[in-house]
Amino acid sequence: MKIRDIKTRALWIWMLLLPAGCAVDNLPDPALQDVCQSAQGPCVNRAYAGERASIALIGEHFDPAFAVNLNNDDPPILRGAFRAYIAQTPIEDLQRHSDQLLAGRLPGTVPLGSHDVTVEIPGGMHSRLPEAFSIVDPLSVTVAPGYRLIPVGHSFGLDVTLENLGPVLLTQVTLRLSQDGTGRFLLPADSVLASLGGESTSTTTLPLQAEQPGPATLLLEVSALAGGSVLVGTQEPLAVDILALPPAVLVASAEVVPTTVDPSENFELIVNVFNTGGTDALDVEVLGPEVSGSGSVTLGDPAPARLNIPAGSRQTIRFGGRAEERGTVLFDVGVQGVEAISQRLLGPVSADPVSIEIR
């Protein structure tokens, strides 16, 4: 054997395995310092759920270890392999680029959260960096109720906008509504969307109806699977405070002042309109009045022609009149309007007939 070969073999033995594996024991411990999507530029230490992003493990002493066969002149064989784990899940396609850099690919099955990352070098030594890399939720959810005051009986929609911030397809997107409070709403069944593409937005409207007056909180939960395996969605339900109002209810009454006049004298027909409900009434007007009987009168225009009546209040519409021919004149009046918010028609509601005597 050549003297050079003998020296080379002796060097391998002294540095690596002799005596009794001392070379492996004497290797410096690895030190993991950063975990990033790339070793170049600023460190981005997060990825969206389901994303199989590149991942770089940066540190020092990522040294190989070799097993030496004293009876073989061939180069020594690498002992063991480089391994790395995130949340105890192996990092895929791991390659050693230098004693300061390992690179691989993030598995698409890591759950949400900030996770420890561990590097293991040949020989069994390892380094762990706590909460080194985060898996974040790509699903953004916003809710836009059309109204926060809803009359009982009124149907409305709750607009939910879903945005997928990540590159991975979201599947089994499920929207679930529940409620709390004394007010009650008829809620839809769970709504399921087939999928939501990467970096896309979708808006869906959930139909509801107010059933019982009182304050209520609507609670929206949204869940989905990122990359077909990672559960994402709202960590806490999104809360929307809504008040279910008693519906608007119109009640009308009429009177004539004075009730007895002579021909050519003036009088007033007064129509009182009450809104006994909990929602405002808008554009309330008098229908008619219908005039009948043996006498005759002339009526002017109503003042005001239309009016708004807040919940629980009363407003008055007046007609100026002039007596014409003697006799009894009957007035039949009704009122109608629309309910604020819902725009439902209120009425027609009739008042009891009233009369005037022309002497």
The CATH number covering residue 22 comes to 2.60.40.10
The residue type of 45 is: N
Is 82 in a helix, a strand, or coil? coil
Residues 146 and 162 in one domain: yes
The answer on pLDDT for 269 being more than 70 is yes
Count of beta carbons in the 10 Å neighbourhood of residue 230: 22
Give residue 68's pLDDT. 59
Would you say residue 137 has pLDDT above 90?
yes
- Per-residue model confidence as pLDDT tens digits over 280-308: 999 999 998 999 999 999 999 999 999 99
Q: What value, to the nearest 5°, has the Cα angle with vertex 259 and ends 254 and 262?
A: 135
Say if residue 15's pLDDT is above 60.
Answer: no
Rg (CA), the chain: 41
Is the pTM of the predicted complex or chain greater than 0.75? yes
Identify the domain containing residue 183 by its residue range. Answer: 139-245
State whether 255 and 240 are in the same domain. Answer: no
14 and 132 housed in the same domain:
yes
The pair of structure tokens assigned to 203 is 């808006």
Q: Is 83's pLDDT higher than 80?
A: yes
For residues 37 and 128, state if they share a domain: yes
Q: How many Cβ atoms from other residues are within 10 Å of residue 117's Cβ? A: 22
Q: How far apart are CA 162 and CA 198, in angstroms?
A: 12
Question: Which residues are CB-contacts of 40 (< 8 A; sequence separation ≥ 6)?
Answer: none
Based on the structure, what is the number of domains in the chain? 3
